[in-house]
Structures are given as structure tokens and as C-alpha cells.
Homo-oligomer: A and B are copies of this chain.
Amino acid sequence: MQETDILIIGGGPAGLVAALTAKKFYPSKKIILIREKEELIIPCAIPYIFKRLDDIEDDLISKKILSENNILTMIGKVEKLDKSNKSVFLGDGNGIKYDKLILALGSQPTIVPIEGINKKGIFFIKKDFNYLKKLKEEVLKAEKITIIGGGFIGVEIAEELSSIQPFKDISIIEKEDHCLGSVFDRDFVVLAEEKLKEKGVKLVNGRSVKRIFGAEKVEGLVLEDGTKIETELIIVAIGARPNTELAEKAGLKIGERGAIEVDEYLKTSENDIFAVGDCAETKDFFTRDYIPAMLASTACLEARVAGSNLYELKILRENKGTLATFSTFINDSFFAVSGMTEEAAKRQGFEVIVGESEGFNRHPAKFKDTGKFKLKLIFAKNSGVIIGGEMTGPKDQSEIINLIALAIQKKVDAYELSFLQIATHPLLSSPPTAYPVISASLKAINKLIMR
């Protein structure tokens, strides 16, 4: 039986970063990473394999980074985890003994109990090279495509497909009132939907799919209100569920939300086993409630925490809660959010003060490549501490969301933000007289001192 110091199961971003971090912090340890598939898809860029990337091959994670860092790789499916003997077993019966184990098992598409869901021509978003290759072939052939689910992935795929020429008929069916409605406040959602419509995407909001019809292959679907939509191809993008089977069978604790239970160091209920990424449970930054965030950025953070805490816990290196920070790009604008939206904050019981700012990303605004932005910052009413931000604008302002994310993580207040010392440049940013974060903070302060 093979032996290793550190074993990582899973080859996605979480597994990869866990392995690389472990190597940096424990350079003398032997590390093996086992993954199921030869090819590793970059998950966040799956929506862009249809047009912006020439080939699906362009969306693969480079494998050489593992060998370059002296991390051994094995291809295979781990069928069994025996935690008392600190061993795992592959499908072919081969076993590996470990000292420390990191589970980065990922997630898979949520099962949807819609009548007709198993017909030909219905695809899910699987991180599988051959499956996606087949999906791309079918997409390029189809003229009418329907996407079920108006979350980030559904919206991004719709936007991408709407650029393929000759133009296709692209629809999104979203059961809530708006696409991205659970992520952004209403005022931003409306702007995002406008951008989708500019690209020709049809939005069918506020209705669920009742059944899918067609002989062998999908021919259309019927909504709960009876509306019939003809379509040649359906892409289902309604979320993912954590892969926990291996952990569950081994007797690791599963949290109430169905993901592997972990502490602040990403340690599972078993001392030498860690879990990171989509398979591990996630707690909210503000409330410590369980949240269903499955983000590559969060996964990488968790992997860095686990990978650096394997042999001794480090108080400065724990995960105190996940600050959901997202961005996406629609037509010509990014849409991004960090922390709480105004609606989410109110729903959770926070009293908030909001500061908004609109303007241009150049100064003067007469430059030919000038674009418009809109920013909203959300502050806790009594302390003035920032708890969220939402922004849309041209690409070159998109990193402002990460400045906001840092501000939230450091509990910066509106006063401090209104005195932020920043760089501005005519060709790169808004003017120093109206830098978005400063202007929005000043607006909030004015509300705070006027009340």
C-alpha cells in the first residue's frame, strides 16, 4: 500500500490550491493529489467556451503546475475512506495511507424533478470535458435555446450564446421575479436585465417549468401558467449540491445544509481530515449562518486555510466566515456585489444607511472610451461600518468591488472611507473630486449626521 504525508482528493481549484499551499508551508512533506479526470476544467469560465474561447481545450487548468511543485498526481475515483486506518481506496482496489487528508470533492448539478428532464437535448453544467464538448456541438447546431435558471451561470451562458452568429433565439426562464434577484438589490437587477435584453436575450421571469415535451428529443417546455415555449436545446443552470457521499459513508459529520461539517480551520469532525471548497459547509461572514455559497474564490481561500493548518493550527489563519463577493459581466458592463445588499441587510434585521454614487470612469468624461458607473454602499446605521456594496460599470472599475470587500473585512466605517487616499488618473478612473467609494460614503455620512 502506497503511503503519503498529505493526500488531497479532488483536482478543481480547491484541491489545486490546497496542494500548492501545503507544499509551501510543509515543503518536506510528500503530497499526492488524486483526481477523477485527466482534464481539469476551469469552472468559472464554462459559460465562455461557446464563443469567447475558441476551444474547450482553452478552458483547462494547466497540469504542469503540480509536477513543477513536486506534487504527485493520480487519476482515479476514490471509492472508500477508512478513517480509523487513515487510508483511502480507489476503484481498482489500490489503497493509499495518509497522515493528513484534504477532501476537495466539489459539487454537482442539482437534480430537478421536472417531467421530461431526461429527454435528449437537455444539458446540465458539468465540469466534464467530454460532456461540455458535446454540449458545445449541440449549442452551435441549435437555433432556439432555453436556459432554465437566471442565476449567475444561467445569465452568463445566455449572454455568451447571444453573441454567436448567426444569432440564435435565447431565453432564460427564472422562477423568481428577476434574474440575479437573490444576489443584487432590485435597482441593480433591473440594469442587469436591461443589458441582457440589449443582447437580445428573452427573459421569462416569475414562472416555473412544469414539464418538458418532445418525442425522444426535447421539442419544448410548458410553464406552470400553461405557456408553451418551443426549443431545441435546454441548459439547466439552477444550482449545485455538494459531493459528500465519500465523507458520509466514512462517518464524517454532515452539516444541516448537507455539506461536510468543518470548523474555522476547515477541519472535519475527524482530526486529520479537512474539507474545502463546494463539498464543505460555508458560514456567513456577518451572521455565521450556513449559506449555500459555492464560489471558486471562496474555495481557494478555504484551501489556503486548510493547506497551512495541517500540522498545527494557526490562530491568524482561520476562516471566520465567508464574505460572498461576486462579479459578472453582461454586454459591456460588470455587475458586482460584496457582502450584504440593502434588501438582504434589512431582511436580516440590520438597520442600514445607504450611500449611492453615479458618474463616469474618466475625467473629464469627454474621453471617447468613457462609461457610466453606479455604486451603492451599505453601512450599519449606528456604527457607520460598511457591510456591503454593489456596483456596475465599465470593466476597468471592476476591481473596486475588491477594495469594498477589503473594507468590509476590515470593518472600515463611512468616515474612514470618505477620507480614503487613492490614485486617480484621467485615462483610468473617476475624478479625485468624485471617486465612487468616497462620494457614496460622503452621501451616507450626510444622512448619518443629518438625522
Q: Which residues of A contact B (CB under 8 A)?
A: 13, 16-17, 20-21, 24-25, 42, 44-45, 47-48, 52-54, 58-60, 285, 295-301, 304-305, 316-317, 319, 322-323, 325-329, 334, 336, 338, 363-364, 366-368, 395-403, 405-407, 409-410, 412, 415-416, 418-429, 431-433, 435, 438, 442, 446, 449
Contacts and interface: CB of A to CB of B under 8 A. Distances in A.
Contacts of A52: 367-368, 427
Contact of A44 (B327, B328, B334, B424): B424
Contact of A53 (B367, B400, B432): B367
A363 B42 contact: yes
A54 B307 CA distance: 55
A323 B420 CA distance: 10
A363 B428 contact: no
A254 to B, nearest CB: 25
Contact of A422 (B44, B53, B297, B431): B297
B423 A336 contact: yes
Contacts of A420: 301, 402, 405-406, 409
A325 B422 CA distance: 6
16 contacts: A20-B433, A45-B426, A52-B367, A54-B366, A58-B366, A296-B432, A304-B438, A305-B419, A329-B427, A396-B399, A398-B425, A399-B402, A399-B429, A401-B423, A406-B412, A409-B421
Contacts of A431: 13, 42, 44, 296
Contacts of A424: 44, 296-297, 327
B425 A328 contact: yes
A48 B301 contact: no
A329 B398 CA distance: 18
A45 to B, nearest CB: 4
Nearest to A24: B446
Nearest to A362: B45
A425 B327 contact: yes
A448 to B, nearest CB: 12
Identical subunits present = 2
B405 A367 contact: no
Contacts of A336: 423
A316 B299 CA distance: 37
A233 to B, nearest CB: 23
A297 B423 contact: yes
Given A300-B433, A363-B45, A399 B405 contact: no
Please provide the 7 A-B residue pairs with the shortest distance between their CB atoms, ordered closest to farther: A58-B366, A399-B399, A45-B426, A297-B432, A327-B423, A325-B423, A323-B421
A316 to B, nearest CB: 5
A384 to B, nearest CB: 9
B301 A421 contact: yes
A399 B423 CA distance: 8
B299 A432 contact: yes
A433 B329 contact: no
Contacts of A42: 363-364, 426, 431
Nearest to A299: B432
B398 A400 contact: no
Contacts of A58: 364, 366
A25 B449 CA distance: 9
A35 to B, nearest CB: 15
Contacts of A20: 433
A422 B297 CA distance: 7
A429 B295 CA distance: 15
A421 B405 CA distance: 7
Contacts of A438: 304
Nearest to A337: B423
Contacts of A59: 364, 366
Given A402-B400, A409-B421, A428 B364 contact: no
A73 B238 CA distance: 58
Nearest to A443: B24
